[in-house]
Amino acid sequence: MPPAAKPSPWDFLTLVAWWNLAGLPALLCLVTLAMVIRQRLRPAGPQMVGLAAKITPPRSAWTSRTATVRIIALIHSALGLRAGVWLAQEVLSMRAQGIPQSGPLRGIVLPIILIVVNLTIGHGLWRLWRWARLGAIAWDALVVIVTTLVMLWQWRFHAPVRLDQWPDYVVADALPWFLLVVMLLPGTRDLCTGTKPRPAGSGPVATGWKASWPSPIFLSALLLLLVVVSTLVVDLIDWVVRPMEDAGG
């Protein structure tokens, strides 16, 4: 008989751990560097020369806010798709075992709620509808309360924390706070209610942090979107690879 093949140390979980510890942080650093370089190389806006100069409204801030809200819409959509992968895994386990792996409530009902709510909010925020912002505020506040209680429970009972699973911790614990804060910002409210910014010459010009409001929040939203997409792709690959490993074992 041929000798038994040695198990490869590069199994799926090892590759995911290396991706989370090295690949994903490197990608986030590259994106941040590219955004900083792009911001530095962007030409300055036209300066006012004389009284006859044309005054243009601050459309750059308005456009950046729109892009930020639509990135958050994509985040909600990705969370809905991730819940769909979770539901599919539970349905497959139910077909094999007769019951969902996580129980009927957590394994079936909760993923369905997450799919419907996140996809609905994502669609509404993409179209900048007012009800979508209000719904996102209510939903994100609820998620913040639940995740805070879970974190306190885990801290009390000293639940182990794995560094190679930091993207899951970010999505579960930090992301809801970010989404809630962005939805509560006055700029987001103005965007979803259709309140246009004032022209540059109609009043005091915003400077400092307020003038650069969209840039750090836009970058944070983009990086968080990459983290959410990474967890979604990992879950999708796990959904495909795990049945193969079980069949091979």
Q: What is the CA radius of gyration of the chain?
A: 23
Would you state the pLDDT for residue 160? Answer: 84
Mean pLDDT of 158-181: 92
Residue 172 class from Cβ within 10 Å (0-12 exposed, 13-18 middle, 19+ buried)?
middle
Give the alpha-carbon dihedral of 20, 26, 29, 35, to 10 degrees.
Answer: -110
Which residues form the domain of 165?
62-198+215-236
Would you state the pLDDT for residue 169? Answer: 93
- Distances in Å between the Cα of 46 and the Cα atoms of 43, 55, 200 are 9, 9, 12
Question: Does the residue 119 lie in any domain?
Answer: yes
Question: Does the residue 210 lie in any domain?
Answer: no
Question: Does the residue 157 lie in any domain?
Answer: yes
Express each pLDDT in 95-148 by its tens digit.
767 666 767 777 788 999 999 999 999 999 999 999 999 999 999 999 999 999
Which of 227, 222, 100 is CA-nearest to residue 172? 227
Alpha helices in 98-159 (DSSP H): 104, 110-126, 130-156
Would you state the pLDDT for residue 18? Answer: 94
Question: Sorting pLDDT into bands at 50, 70 and 90, what band is 179?
Answer: very high
Return d(Cα 215, Cα 236) in angstroms, integer. Answer: 32
Angle at 51 between CA 48 and CA 53, to 5 degrees: 40
Give the alpha-carbon dihedral of 170, 139, 123, 82, to 10 degrees.
Answer: 40
Mean pLDDT of 6-27: 82
Would you state the pLDDT for residue 71? Answer: 95
Residue 126 class from Cβ within 10 Å (0-12 exposed, 13-18 middle, 19+ buried)?
middle
Cβ atoms 124, 69 nearer than 8 A: no
Indicate the pTM of the whole model.
0.81
Would you state the pLDDT for residue 12? Answer: 80
The total number of structural domains in the chain stands at 1
Question: Does the residue 123 lie in any domain?
Answer: yes
Question: Does the residue 141 lie in any domain?
Answer: yes
Question: Does the residue 127 lie in any domain?
Answer: yes
Question: Does the residue 245 lie in any domain?
Answer: no
pLDDT score of 1 more than 50: no
Question: Does the residue 203 lie in any domain?
Answer: no
Question: Sorting pLDDT into bands at 50, 70 and 90, what band is 38?
Answer: confident
- The label of the residue with tokens 């036209």 reads 46
Would you state the pLDDT for residue 208? Answer: 38
Cβ of 202: how many Cβ atoms within 10 Å? 10
